[in-house]
Structure 1
Amino acid sequence: MSWTRALLAALAVCVLLLTGSVGCGSSGTQEQKIGESPSPVGELLDDSDEEGRLYREVDEEQAPEVGIEVQPNSSDSWDVRLTVRDFRFSPAGTKEKPVAGQGLAHLYLDGRLIARLRTPEYRLPAELVPRGTHHVTARLYADDGTVWAVDGEPIESTADITASEADPTMSAGATGVRTGGQGSPDRAGKAS
């Protein structure tokens, strides 16, 4: 009778192994499936920004959004205010690991990086804005330095500003380049 018990025990072990309920040498971690990103958040793309930072693609439903508003200030500067949705700014010293909807914003003036923001407000000195019309862009980055992206495009918003010698003025307003939302005008770039 002992051989029948041994046979039943062996069959039970085989059933458990075949159904995946038990694994030999398992440490409790899941193996990466073929085609999955090794990153915990989004998928790294081959595309990168001007600085060579890779795009981190996320689904539109999970994507953060950013809007930008730039207003002249009486102290001969510009007040920049970002409005974000499904995004929070990381404090300085945050671990360089991507976390969904978290990171910092890079602020560009005519395509040139002028600040890395960990808060939604910034004072843009007038001496950085020569006379003429300029583009101020806010782009969202993960804490590991990758660019948050949707459909292969960075999540960013741009405002046009016009500086004159006597009085800085806001031109037609902010225009969204890519916000991660549905692309509606209210969500695209204008602060709500």
Structure 2
Amino acid sequence: MKSFPRCSWIAVLAVIVLAAAACGGDEPVPATQDSAAVSEMADMAEMAGDGSHRGHDHGTAHELAAGVPVPSIAIEIAADPVEGWNLRIHTTDFLIVPENASTTHVDGEGHMHLYVDGEKLSRIYGEWHHITGLQPGSHDVRVELSSNNHSALSIDGEIIDATAKIFQDRRTNLSLVRDDPAEAIEPHPSVSVRLVKDPAGGWSLHAVPSNFRLAPENASTGHIDGEGHMRLYVDGEQVARLYETWFQMPPLQAGTHEIKVDLRTNDHAPLTVNGLPVETAVRLEVSEAEATMQAGHEHTSDDGHDHDHDHDHGSAGAPTRYDADVADATQTIMVSAVGGAPEGGVQRVQVDIGSVVALMVTSDVAEEVHVHGYDILRAVSDGHPAHFAFNAEIPGVFEVEFEGSGRLLLQLQVS
């Protein structure tokens, strides 16, 4: 029986505190940030490449307007038991909306930018991110909150970010990597993959597993049925370990590329069903103009949203094993979409596991409502709402989106 080392965590809190003097009405001031160093393990192991986007900060910032809730960010970073570093990000008053990247600023939403030693490594579209490929030695890690248009968010001229210092040595622990495939239990998992063209250049990957829980907190530990992480491959070469459903693709040269995502157990074994790997691959044609555009730096953009999708999955109205009668629903969630976006913004709604939940979606444009994880597709159009119910049997956080545009409508937290 293999034993798995405990991770040492660095917790760094960067909270913006608004202080008002009892008699003076002082201006808001940012709190100081703290960081600590940890020496653990990791250089490149069986992971080949990191899908990074190294470039300099574009230097622009968006000052929060008066009355806008001030977000905060805190980060934890731990050496992965096999290789690299596992980064966890906590935010308040800030909604991560990957599908709006490279569009206009919206108060309270956006994504994050990761910097190591002052060099931009990647965008971050979720709570967890795997960092790999660092040279031995000390490194400064910084994560900043970014507007949809890639401007760093600031208050009183100070960027809203969090920092930590780590020490990279050359040790790895391949003994924790399981080489033999792991046969999945029922219900069998699957993964859907699509590519969304970014208005600023390049593509975002949207990979959504079904009957499988992403468990970054357990990465490189013992096997647990039904959970793990994903890996991203470009033209047969692994470029990233995926902990979230959205990921910014690395720059691609002009030509035809195969983009593949597979499911992995906590101990890195490839997951199989009837002996076949659980994976999905799509092909992407990159023109010379597109290759040139993505090679440049990110820039602030007020352009309209432009999503191009390579693949659709399933058909609207197809029955699923989770279907239920609307009359049996103990909870009804209503979403009104105008111009392809949810009124009031994207909400996360708590759903009791084992309950029957109904969704009522209205829209002034024709679309398909997709409940990820449950693989439910229902048509909606002006005057014809999508009204359906299902058994909430799978725990986790699931996205409900418009399949055609990729616009996020709702997040369901089933627990």
Residues 151-190 of structure 1: pairs in structure 2 closer than 5 A: 151-167=274-290, 173=311
* Bigger proportion of residues as helix: 1
Gaps of 5+ in 1: 1-37, 39-50, 176-186
Structure 2 unaligned residues grouped into runs of 5+: 2-176, 292-306, 314-374, 376-401, 404-415
Deviation at 1:75, TM superposition (A): 2.0
Query: Does 1:55 pair with 2:181?
Result: yes
Write out per-residue CA displacement over residues 33-89 of structure 1, whole angstroms, 9 at most, x where no aligned residue: xxxxx9xxxxxxxxxxxx983211124x33211010112212222110012111111
Distance 1:105 1:90 in 2: 10
Aligned partner of residue 62 in structure 1, secondary structure: coil
Answer whether contact 1:134 1:162 (CA < 8 A) is retained.
Answer: yes
* The 10-residue stretch of structure 1 (113-122 or 94-103) with the greater mean CA deviation from structure 2: 94-103
- SS where residue 311 of structure 2 aligns? strand
Which structure 2 residues correspond to residues 32-181 of structure 1 after superposition, within 5 A? 53-59=179-185, 61-92=186-217, 94=219, 96-126=221-251, 129-167=252-290, 173=311
**Residues 161 and 174 (structure 1), Cα distance of their counterparts in 2 relative to 1, 3 Å cut:** farther
Contact kept? 1:76, 1:125, Cα under 8 Å:
no
In structure 2, the partner of 1:24 is none
Letter paired with 1:56: A
Q: CA deviation at 1:125?
A: 2.6
8 Å CA contact 2:204–2:248 kept in 1: the answer is yes
Distance in 1 (CA, whole Å) between partners of 2:195 and 2:220 is 30
The aligned residue for residue 30 of structure 1 is: none
CA distance in 2 between partners of 1:156 and 1:174 (Å): 16
The TM-score with structure 1 as length reference comes to 0.57
1:174 CA displacement:
7.2
What SS class does the counterpart of residue 138 from structure 1 fall into?
Answer: strand
Pair 1:81–1:172, CA change in 2 (3 A) = closer
RMSD: 2.9
Answer whether contact 2:197 2:309 (CA < 8 A) is retained.
no
Who wins on radius of gyration, i.e. which is larger?
1
Are the structure 2 counterparts of residues 95 and 113 from structure 1 closer, same or farther at C-alpha, using a change threshold of 3 Å?
closer
Listed as ranges, the matches of 1:9-48 within 5 Å are none
Equivalent residues of 2:218, 2:228 under 8 A apart: no
Which structure would you say has the larger RCO, counting Cα contacts within 8 Å and 6 or more residues apart? 1
Partner of 1:11: none
Q: How many residues align?
A: 126
Q: SS at the partner of 1:149?
A: strand
Residue identity in the other structure for 2:262: R
Which letter maps to 1:74? Answer: P
Whether the 8 Å CA contact 1:157–1:174 is kept in 2: the answer is: no
Q: SS in structure 1 opposite 2:216?
A: coil
Q: Secondary structure at the match of 1:173?
A: coil
Q: CA deviation at 1:93?
A: 5.1
Q: 1:84 to 1:171 in 2, by over 3 A?
A: closer
- Supply the distance in 2 between the matched residues of 1:131 and 1:171 (Cα, whole angstroms): 18
After TM superposition, list the pairs within 5 Å mapping 1:1-12 onto structure 2.
Answer: none
Q: What TM-score does the superposition give when structure 2 sets the normalisation length?
A: 0.28
- Contact kept in structure 2, 1:108 and 1:137, CA below 8 Å: yes
User: What is the alpha-carbon distance in structure 1 between the residues aligned to residue 187 and residue 205 of structure 2?
Assistant: 26
